[in-house]
Structure 1
């Protein structure tokens, strides 16, 4: 996966965590874990309830950054749990980055539970 794609995937996973009711520190941990297990260096993440900033240095020495606005918020602990599990599986090499990306798509498309 290219550095830009990795950055966007990590930001999307952190955004999904925040939108699902996860705490800001959990969203930061999600993004940082994804970047770290894929070899990203000097990563920084800052999350609030309404936004997310993420940057890291790729293998080529270039710094990449992204900002995500959190426009919707809710409480879906099943999604929070599934995102956490996906990141743990990625970090322990149970799945690769492409499988994790597909899993995040499935998680985000799943119907909201009341």
Structure 2
């Protein structure tokens, strides 16, 4: 499979919106950690997005975020993984809990899903 990495050049509505939502989250919920790198990726994935603590990167899968509301929700959801996973031990806890709970019952996923849904409405109302 060929994965194509795209940058925010030109009229890239997904990148511009994702960056705006990320900056909005950083403003509302500041944390001293270094700002995460935002990467948008073309290609097939079963995920809408993911956060990697080890390289401090939020990855958004373009093909799974073609509707504005979905993209906003995904960025907010992944931002809260960034917000919560502030150490290697917290990253390990997240992965250990994946073994204990289904994704739907994972404590951090519940929180990130709730924040994504709630704040997407706030963002859309104000932007």
TM-score (norm 1): 0.29
Structure with the larger helix share: 2
RCO (CA 8 Å, sep 6+): is it higher in 1 or 2? 1
Structure with higher Rg: it is 2
TM-score (norm 2): 0.27
Structure with the larger strand share: 1
